[in-house]
Structure 1
């Protein structure tokens, strides 16, 4: 099967689905092409992405990269979104059976839909947009200008595009609810396939050499063996509620409990975290270097929004703490806990559940095993492949002349 994976954003060295899934599909024997402008993640929000935008030249680069071919294309702006230059000709030259597009109502999906009418491939869309991460004004009852704007800018466009899309793949049931309610995708055209984790590099500290590395990282951070380390990783934006964890750890320390917090990342909230004496801040590190930090920790916590890092932390044998508003809780049943969203006292009580090292170790063993068996990227790629093949790929092809 020949697959084209179209995504506006792409940055080497990160663990996003766009970096890992195409390579795993290629490892399964499919011919995979990534078509991208290499824009940084969250490029539409200057407060959420870091780095520089690539230039808008008329370049077109092609390179082989671990089981797939990456095509870097130029782009042009369309408001806050972009169009990929030369996308039709690129798809024509690849002649794919399937095109996977990351996005539900984007102009790039519109380009792919137009190409489908002439080239005849199947389109699958993919999304990780969580319902709980959408603006509160969209999720609350009543009519508002925010809802009216969403109706015309997302719902109608998404509903129209969905006529040409075979399936929309969401990483959780929560994501499916979001695309149905706010992007107009018919529920019958949706399917849930989880995000994954690279269990080759994310695994617990068990053998002696890895245990030594755990202690070395803790020592470099000024953390003793007796302290209980709570780790958070990601982009430090207001929507992530990182201060809830920092405040909870600070208060537990004042009560005599040896908790510390380690935050790995960067963003606007970084300055606020500096006032907490029991919080250590580390800059962004390449994805491949994150396992060492997880293995140096004892607990992982994300106070608000879900992230693929939760799977990475579980694979490293850490209990994970999430918001009680997170709907995909089946992944962490018996290997993690929830706390009341935004409530520092609730976060403190939940952290205290993992004060005992024996309990942490037992849960960590179960967490790592579950990730290996059900959430490794190899397993997830095979689920994607079964879904793509089950839809009659290339049964009907238009002829382009």
Structure 2
């Protein structure tokens, strides 16, 4: 089967779906092409230079066709408008590659609208993943807001998208609710799914020598309990809530609890993290370097938005703490805790509940096993292929 994956942007050194999904399909002996723009991830963000430039370089990169072991990467020139990213020459790529299946990301993108419009012309099946979590989606709350919302959606030809996408994949229950209630995607066209983990990289196999060395280099003692956060240092991710919780724990005598923040962001925000007692910040690292960071830590904490990093940390055997508005509770059942959103003192209480090493190991083992069984990219790709072949074969039978 020939599979075309379309993503608005792409960065080789990140750990998102567009990085691992093409490889997962390729490992299953499918012909896979990833078509994207010449933009790095988050290239259109006003915070790009502060948060990502140090890791990824300039927001634009070179165009061309680049083959690797499992898939072919096609980088096209792009244009950015108030409505989003337009990948120039996308239709020509579709005509040239003639895919059986196209997989894309998010409902209300210019690329998705174009793929929906071209579907009948080029005779492919179209599948769309959605990540519209409640933590990042603000539904219209009044009449004016609703009017603007639907004017914008008409620009994205939303009805045509709904009609022509064969299946939508909301990655969590709150995403399913948002796209069925606010975007009016029919429930029968949806299949609840999840993000996944590259378990060849992220797993519970520890290198004890590397772990000991890493902790010693950062000044963490054997008895210290390290709470780790990885990602952006920005208000929308709110790692400062964890910093404040660690600072508070030090004030009341729990100086053996430490905070480790790996990522990047606004200098002012990062400085607020660095002045919290017991907290250390490190810059972004490559995905291959993250497992040792998770193995060297004891608890994973993501205070606000959902993140793929939560699953990566679970795969490495860490218990997870998230806020009480996160709705995908099945993911964290038995291996996670929830604290009152924006309440650093309640977060501190939850951290104290994980002081006992045996409890952390028990919870971490539950999470690592769950990832291996349900959330690996290998399992994800196998399930998707079954569905893709069902659509293709049913069509052939009808013909």
Shared fold (TM-score, shorter chain, > 0.5): yes
Q: RMSD of the TM alignment (CA)? A: 2.0
- Determine the C-alpha separation between the residues in 2 that align with 1:147 and 1:73: 35
Native 8 Å contact 1:159 1:184 kept in 2: no
> Structure 2, unaligned stretches of length 5 or more?
none
Per the alignment, residue 152 of structure 2 pairs with 153
Return closer, same or farther for 1:396/1:47 CA change in 2, 3 Å cut-off: farther
Tell which deviates more after alignment, 81-90 or 279-288: 81-90
Tell which deviates more after alignment, 126-135 or 190-199: 126-135
Q: Counterpart of 2:75 in 1: which secondary structure?
A: strand
Per the alignment, residue 300 of structure 1 pairs with 300
Per the alignment, residue 133 of structure 1 pairs with 136
Native 8 Å contact 1:121 1:393 kept in 2: no
Equivalent residue for 1:82, pick from 65, 80, 85: 85
Return closer, same or farther for 1:165/1:195 CA change in 2, 3 Å cut-off: same
Q: CA deviation at 1:306?
A: 0.8
Equivalent residue for 1:70, pick from 65, 70, 73: 73
Native 8 Å contact 1:7 1:18 kept in 2: yes
Q: CA deviation at 1:115?
A: 2.2
Give matches, 1:338-349, under 5 Å: 338-349=338-349
Return closer, same or farther for 1:273/1:88 CA change in 2, 3 Å cut-off: same
Q: Counterpart of 1:163 in 2: which secondary structure?
A: helix
Q: Counterpart of 2:360 in 1: which secondary structure?
A: helix
Residues 1:379 and 2:394 are matched in the alignment: no
- Determine the C-alpha separation between the residues in 2 that align with 1:225 and 1:186: 53
> Structure 1, unaligned stretches of length 5 or more?
none
Q: CA deviation at 1:318?
A: 0.5
Per the alignment, residue 115 of structure 2 pairs with 112
Equivalent residue for 2:246, pick from 246, 249, 253: 249
Per the alignment, residue 220 of structure 1 pairs with 217
- Determine the C-alpha separation between the residues in 2 that align with 1:44 and 1:333: 36
Q: Counterpart of 1:301 in 2: which secondary structure?
A: strand
Equivalent residue for 1:53, pick from 56, 59, 74: 59
Q: CA deviation at 1:396?
A: 7.0
Per the alignment, residue 92 of structure 1 pairs with 95
Per the alignment, residue 364 of structure 1 pairs with 364
Residues 1:33 and 2:36 are matched in the alignment: no
Residues 1:278 and 2:278 are matched in the alignment: yes
Native 8 Å contact 1:10 1:40 kept in 2: yes
- Determine the C-alpha separation between the residues in 2 that align with 1:271 and 1:381: 41
Residues 1:323 and 2:323 are matched in the alignment: yes
Per the alignment, residue 232 of structure 1 pairs with 229
Q: CA deviation at 1:189?
A: 1.1
Return closer, same or farther for 1:147/1:259 CA change in 2, 3 Å cut-off: farther
- Determine the C-alpha separation between the residues in 2 that align with 1:159 and 1:131: 22
Native 8 Å contact 2:250 2:277 kept in 1: no
Q: Deviations over 1:240-288 (max 9, x none)?
A: 1211111111111121212110000011232321221211000011111
Q: Deviations over 1:68-115 (max 9, x none)?
A: 111111112232512111111111111101111112121112222232
Per the alignment, residue 166 of structure 1 pairs with 166
Native 8 Å contact 1:321 1:339 kept in 2: yes
Q: Counterpart of 1:390 in 2: which secondary structure?
A: helix
Return closer, same or farther for 1:180/1:157 CA change in 2, 3 Å cut-off: farther
- Determine the C-alpha separation between the residues in 2 that align with 1:145 and 1:274: 42
Kindly report structure 1 stretches of 4+ aligned residues shifted beyond 4 Å.
Answer: none
Count of aligned residue pairs for this structure pair: 387
Q: Counterpart of 1:54 in 2: which secondary structure?
A: coil
